[in-house]
Amino acid sequence: MSLQDRLDRMTIEGDLYEVVDATTHKIRCFACGHRCLIKEGGRGICKVRYNEGGKLRVPFGYVGTIQVDPIEKKPFNHVEPGATALSFGMLGCDFHCSYCQNWEISQHGRDQDAGRDPTPITPKEILRLAHRYNARAVASTYNEPLITTEWAVAVFKEAKQDGLRTLYISNGNATPEALQYLRPYLDAYKIDLKTMQDSQYRKLGGVLQHVLDTIRMAYEAGLQVEVVTLVIPGFNDSPEELWQAARYIASVSPDIPWHVTAFHPDYKMLDTPPTSVKILSQAAEIGQEAGLHYVYAGNLPGRVGDFEHTFCPNCHEVVVKRHGFRLIENRLKSTGGVCPRCGTRIAGMWG
């Protein structure tokens, strides 16, 4: 039996779709911004959501990978610093980024060298693992979680009943319907803002405006939103483009943390050099100058000065100290999330 056949057996009827034509069994999926129109027997762009007899079948009841991570690795710097997150992912993606670090699972159905044997598991078993490893959060990550949202919600329902945080690590190609479906069960949403050039986004399989809209919709829905831009030399590292990204995020809210992270060659982008400390620091400085209260430089621990720490935007006191993914000091835990020096509320979820 092929991997695809095994995956197709681990599916249920999805919630995020509508029937377009009952006679021809044509349906439309709205789990992600592609809003795929899927004919009988066809698949969406993600390759894992498919039409069987006029019903949308979606992934359920397995993981492609599962492990325990520091919450800062996701990265979330404003959700319970120092916590561990049980991270799980499935297979497939609605983008095809040439530098994807998780291409082995995300590019299933698109790259013949991608794919991984699924491990059957239930939401309750995931929660038991979370408790075994003292995780305070569960995170849908590694592949694109939007395309497996029904599965994530099943896990998150169990997690919320146990008092755990719930996290999405996503490319941000969402829809209002998917966010509404997720909102009762989701705490925090990390969104990749990959570039401010729509032409570049389309090469990756996306549309810039969809991601910009998701940042605003997720923030207005009350989720803890953190935005990440992987700074890639020659792709999105010009000062003009970084200014555009920072200004847009600030226009939604200056309290949204912006992580500018260093690129390392991977997958099909092996000839592009790693991001230098100088370029990464300049990107972080642009974020600060654009008015963002919380800017972080990642993937170069110990080499980016104060850009690993959290500062009070009012009095500039250091309130959380870090080295890479390691928490050194969290002064907000005992204050309920307010600056111990001036009493300013620091945006985030502090326990």
Q: Which tokens is 241 given?
A: 């483009």
Chain centroid, CA 287 distance in Å:
20
Secondary element (H or E) of residue 198: helix 198-204
pLDDT at 134: 97
Tell me which residues of the chain have a pLDDT lower than 50.
none
Q: Which tokens is 169 given?
A: 């690590």
Farthest-apart Cα atoms in the chain, separation: 66
Q: How far apart are CA 289 and CA 351, in angstroms?
A: 30
Q: What is the pTM of this model?
A: 0.97
pLDDT at 84: 98
In which order are the strands placed within the sheet that holds 50-52? 11-13, 55-59, 50-52
pLDDT at 202: 97
pLDDT at 115: 87
